[in-house]
Structure 1
Amino acid sequence: MSGRCERIYVRLTSGKKDRALDLALRNGLTVSQLVRVLIQLLADCTSEGARTAVVLDRASAARIEREMRRWGNHYNQAVHALNRIAYYAGRGSLRTEEAHRLLGLAAGNLEDLNVAVVQLREETHAICSHAIVSV
């Protein structure tokens, strides 16, 4: 049970209980996880003065990590392709004009990827500057 051995019992009206169940369901949480998030959110906001909170569950964090890893793989593949083009162009087995065309195309794709990476980095930094509540 991951160190969770204490219990809290709360009495709610049926309407508030339904709201809690609905809120938990809409966010893919159990009611216990919802209560933990709300407690952590309030503690983080009052201790750090944060006004915005980001709730990130483990599944979403794993998806973000997987997406960033894919971007890294694409970048490595693009650089590898550029190196191969340069290699064959240097050996004379690739026409110069074709090599320039392919290099320009690859460079444009890398630039687009770089812009997206910079944007993702900035957005991730902005998220990390807020109170982060883990589930």
Structure 2
Amino acid sequence: MGGRCERVYVRLTPGEKDRALDLASRNGLTVSQLVRVLIQLPADYASEGARTAVVLDRTTAGGLEREMRRWGNHYNQAVHALNTIALFASRGGSNIDYFVEQLECANRNLEDVKSGERGIEGKLRQLEGTTLVDGR
């Protein structure tokens, strides 16, 4: 994307300016970012009824990335615990308490992943049919 060098000047009433500032503030945007978001909406957006536009900003994207990394960590820990059980079992290990402990650890980690997955799936289902707008 090239640098931003073009300007647009808009005259607003004091009420319109206050509304723009409030709307930008409530969404964690500057007024310039708000205008960029609004011009990304489809031209027939208003005529499509009550649809929702979703703004994915850097903070939200970073949060999603951290959550996915956390799930990967839990998943890796669970697989490591299962591999440890398999290794000891293949070597004739007989410490049942250790196996049970490792299996419970793997199960807890996989449950964390599943719980997070269900939460994100629910949020994604809510976003179906919305317009995704880049908030940069």
Q: TM-score, normalised by structure 2?
A: 0.76
Question: Which position in structure 1 is the counterpart of 2:54?
Answer: 54
Identity of aligned residues (%): 61
Tell me if 1:41 matches 2:38: no
Question: Which position in structure 1 is the counterpart of 2:124?
Answer: 124
Tell me if 1:69 matches 2:85: no
Which structure 2 residues correspond to residues 1-135 of structure 1 after superposition, within 5 A? 2-43=2-43, 45=45, 51-121=51-121, 123-124=123-124, 126-127=126-127, 129-135=129-135
Kindly tell me the number of residue pairs found equivalent between the two proteins.
135
2:78 and 2:105 in contact (8 A); partners too: no
Counterpart residue type for residue 23 of structure 1:
L
Partner SS for 2:7: coil
CA RMSD of aligned residues (A): 2.9
CA–CA separation in structure 2 for the residues paired with 1:74 and 1:44 = 44
CA deviation string 1:84-110 (max 9, x = no partner): 122123324451254135314522541
CA–CA separation in structure 1 for the residues paired with 2:44 and 2:75 = 37
CA deviation string 1:56-109 (max 9, x = no partner): 112211221221122112201211122112212332445125413531452254
C-alpha spacing 1:47/1:71, structure 2 compared with 1 (3 Å): farther
1:37 and 1:134 in contact (8 A); partners too: yes
CA deviation string 1:21-51 (max 9, x = no partner): 2221232211111111112125373698882
CA–CA separation in structure 2 for the residues paired with 1:76 and 1:109 = 9
Higher helix share: 1
Unpaired runs of 5+ in structure 2?
A: none
1:89 and 1:96 in contact (8 A); partners too: no
Counterpart residue type for residue 90 of structure 1:
S
Partner SS for 2:41: helix
